[in-house]
Amino acid sequence: MSTDEYRRGRAVEREREKKQRAVHGRYRGVLPVIYGIGLVIFVVVSLFMGPEPAFAVYLVTHLFYAGLIRADIKSLRSQGLDWGFSRHIWFGAAFALPFVAPAYYLYSRRVIRRENESRDVAE
Protein backbone atom coordinates (compact mmCIF):
# COMPACT_ATOMS: atom_id res chain seq x y z
CA MET A 1 0.00 0.00 0.00
CA SER A 2 1.44 3.36 -0.93
CA THR A 3 1.64 6.30 1.40
CA ASP A 4 -0.02 8.56 -1.18
CA GLU A 5 -3.41 7.27 -0.11
CA TYR A 6 -2.91 8.65 3.39
CA ARG A 7 -1.51 12.08 2.54
CA ARG A 8 -3.27 15.04 4.14
CA GLY A 9 -2.87 18.75 4.36
CA ARG A 10 -3.04 21.89 2.29
CA ALA A 11 -0.70 20.66 -0.44
CA VAL A 12 -2.93 17.65 -1.08
CA GLU A 13 -6.03 19.84 -1.20
CA ARG A 14 -4.36 22.15 -3.75
CA GLU A 15 -3.48 19.13 -5.91
CA ARG A 16 -7.09 17.98 -5.85
CA GLU A 17 -8.29 21.44 -6.87
CA LYS A 18 -5.85 21.54 -9.79
CA LYS A 19 -7.24 18.27 -11.12
CA GLN A 20 -10.77 19.71 -11.29
CA ARG A 21 -10.72 21.64 -14.55
CA ALA A 22 -13.62 23.20 -16.35
CA VAL A 23 -15.36 21.01 -18.90
CA HIS A 24 -15.76 22.48 -22.37
CA GLY A 25 -17.07 21.06 -25.62
CA ARG A 26 -14.29 20.92 -28.16
CA TYR A 27 -16.56 20.99 -31.23
CA ARG A 28 -19.64 22.55 -29.68
CA GLY A 29 -18.78 26.10 -30.75
CA VAL A 30 -18.45 25.14 -34.41
CA LEU A 31 -21.78 23.37 -34.57
CA PRO A 32 -24.04 26.44 -35.12
CA VAL A 33 -21.74 27.76 -37.85
CA ILE A 34 -21.69 24.44 -39.69
CA TYR A 35 -25.46 24.12 -39.24
CA GLY A 36 -26.02 27.57 -40.74
CA ILE A 37 -23.77 26.85 -43.72
CA GLY A 38 -25.50 23.50 -44.30
CA LEU A 39 -28.91 25.13 -44.15
CA VAL A 40 -27.93 27.75 -46.73
CA ILE A 41 -26.47 25.09 -49.04
CA PHE A 42 -29.63 22.99 -48.67
CA VAL A 43 -31.92 25.91 -49.53
CA VAL A 44 -29.86 26.99 -52.54
CA VAL A 45 -29.59 23.47 -53.92
CA SER A 46 -33.28 22.76 -53.41
CA LEU A 47 -34.28 26.00 -55.17
CA PHE A 48 -32.00 25.67 -58.19
CA MET A 49 -31.39 21.94 -58.65
CA GLY A 50 -34.43 20.13 -57.36
CA PRO A 51 -35.27 17.63 -54.65
CA GLU A 52 -32.81 14.83 -55.48
CA PRO A 53 -29.61 16.87 -55.03
CA ALA A 54 -31.20 18.55 -51.99
CA PHE A 55 -31.72 15.13 -50.42
CA ALA A 56 -28.05 14.33 -51.05
CA VAL A 57 -27.07 17.57 -49.30
CA TYR A 58 -29.41 16.67 -46.44
CA LEU A 59 -27.86 13.22 -46.07
CA VAL A 60 -24.25 14.42 -46.20
CA THR A 61 -24.80 17.28 -43.75
CA HIS A 62 -26.54 15.00 -41.28
CA LEU A 63 -23.68 12.54 -41.45
CA PHE A 64 -21.37 15.45 -40.72
CA TYR A 65 -23.53 16.68 -37.81
CA ALA A 66 -23.63 13.19 -36.35
CA GLY A 67 -19.85 12.97 -36.60
CA LEU A 68 -19.40 16.36 -34.94
CA ILE A 69 -21.79 15.47 -32.13
CA ARG A 70 -20.07 12.11 -31.63
CA ALA A 71 -16.65 13.79 -31.49
CA ASP A 72 -17.93 16.41 -29.06
CA ILE A 73 -19.48 13.83 -26.75
CA LYS A 74 -16.28 11.80 -26.91
CA SER A 75 -14.22 14.85 -25.93
CA LEU A 76 -16.59 15.63 -23.07
CA ARG A 77 -16.41 12.04 -21.84
CA SER A 78 -12.60 12.19 -21.92
CA GLN A 79 -12.86 15.21 -19.60
CA GLY A 80 -14.85 13.16 -17.10
CA LEU A 81 -18.42 14.04 -18.05
CA ASP A 82 -20.68 10.97 -17.86
CA TRP A 83 -23.29 10.81 -20.61
CA GLY A 84 -24.71 7.37 -20.05
CA PHE A 85 -26.86 5.82 -22.76
CA SER A 86 -28.18 9.13 -24.09
CA ARG A 87 -24.97 9.63 -26.06
CA HIS A 88 -26.16 6.93 -28.48
CA ILE A 89 -29.55 8.58 -28.81
CA TRP A 90 -28.01 11.98 -29.58
CA PHE A 91 -25.77 10.45 -32.24
CA GLY A 92 -28.60 8.52 -33.89
CA ALA A 93 -30.99 11.44 -33.78
CA ALA A 94 -28.40 13.77 -35.32
CA PHE A 95 -28.13 11.39 -38.23
CA ALA A 96 -31.87 11.20 -38.87
CA LEU A 97 -33.58 14.40 -37.76
CA PRO A 98 -33.07 17.95 -39.06
CA PHE A 99 -33.22 20.00 -35.86
CA VAL A 100 -31.17 17.83 -33.53
CA ALA A 101 -27.92 19.76 -33.98
CA PRO A 102 -29.34 22.99 -32.47
CA ALA A 103 -31.10 20.97 -29.75
CA TYR A 104 -27.83 19.21 -28.90
CA TYR A 105 -26.08 22.60 -28.79
CA LEU A 106 -28.56 23.90 -26.21
CA TYR A 107 -28.68 20.65 -24.22
CA SER A 108 -24.90 20.29 -24.06
CA ARG A 109 -24.60 23.87 -22.80
CA ARG A 110 -26.87 22.96 -19.90
CA VAL A 111 -24.99 19.71 -19.17
CA ILE A 112 -21.59 21.44 -19.29
CA ARG A 113 -22.78 24.25 -17.02
CA ARG A 114 -24.20 21.74 -14.53
CA GLU A 115 -20.95 19.73 -14.50
CA ASN A 116 -18.81 22.82 -14.04
CA GLU A 117 -21.01 23.96 -11.16
CA SER A 118 -20.63 20.57 -9.49
CA ARG A 119 -16.85 20.85 -9.88
CA ASP A 120 -16.91 24.42 -8.53
CA VAL A 121 -14.96 25.78 -11.49
CA ALA A 122 -15.68 28.60 -13.90
CA GLU A 123 -16.31 27.88 -17.56
The tens digit of pLDDT for each residue in 32-75 reads 998 899 899 999 999 999 999 999 998 888 888 899 999 999 99
| 119 to 80, 114, 122: CA distances (angstroms) | 11, 9, 9
The alpha-helical segments, DSSP class H, found in the chain are: 10-19, 31-48, 51-78, 86-96, 100-119
Q: What pLDDT does residue 1 have?
A: 47
18-56 CB burial, b ≥16 within 10 A, e <16: eeeeebebebbeebeeebeebeeebeebbeeeeeeebee
Q: What percent of the chain has pLDDT over 70?
A: 84
Domain residue extents for the chain: 28-115
